[in-house]
Amino acid sequence: MKVLVNMDRCEYHGQCVFAAPDLFDITDDGELEWVESPDPTRSEALKAAVGACPVQAITLQDG
């Protein structure tokens, strides 16, 4: 599974960080960082992060 974040759409609400703090982070410089190819066991946390994003900037891609 691959995590894609549309940075043109992201408004840095940080809901993904709250939903999956081990996979998403906002750095001290205010930039969003994420694990692009997380362990498959984290799929539920990823789905929660996708659902929590108020601007739907996060998508998951199989493979």
pTM of the predicted protein model: 0.91
Report the CATH number at residue 36. 3.30.70.20
Return the CA Rg of the chain. 11
Cα→Cα distances 5→2, 11, Å: 10, 11
Query: Cα(63)–Cα(51) distance, rounded to whole angstroms?
Result: 20
Q: Considering the chain, what is the average pLDDT of its residues? A: 96
The span from the CA of 41 to the CA of 56, in Å, is 22
Summarised one tens digit per residue, pLDDT across range 10-29 is 999 999 999 999 999 999 99
Predicted confidence band of residue 63 (pLDDT cuts 50, 70, 90): low
Give the mean model confidence (pLDDT) for residues 24-50: 96
Confidence tier at 62 by pLDDT (50, 70, 90): confident
Number of domains in the chain: 1
The two structure tokens encoding residue 62: 């199989």
Q: Are 54 and 12 in contact (CB under 8 A)?
A: no
Q: Residue 36: is its pLDDT beyond 70?
A: yes
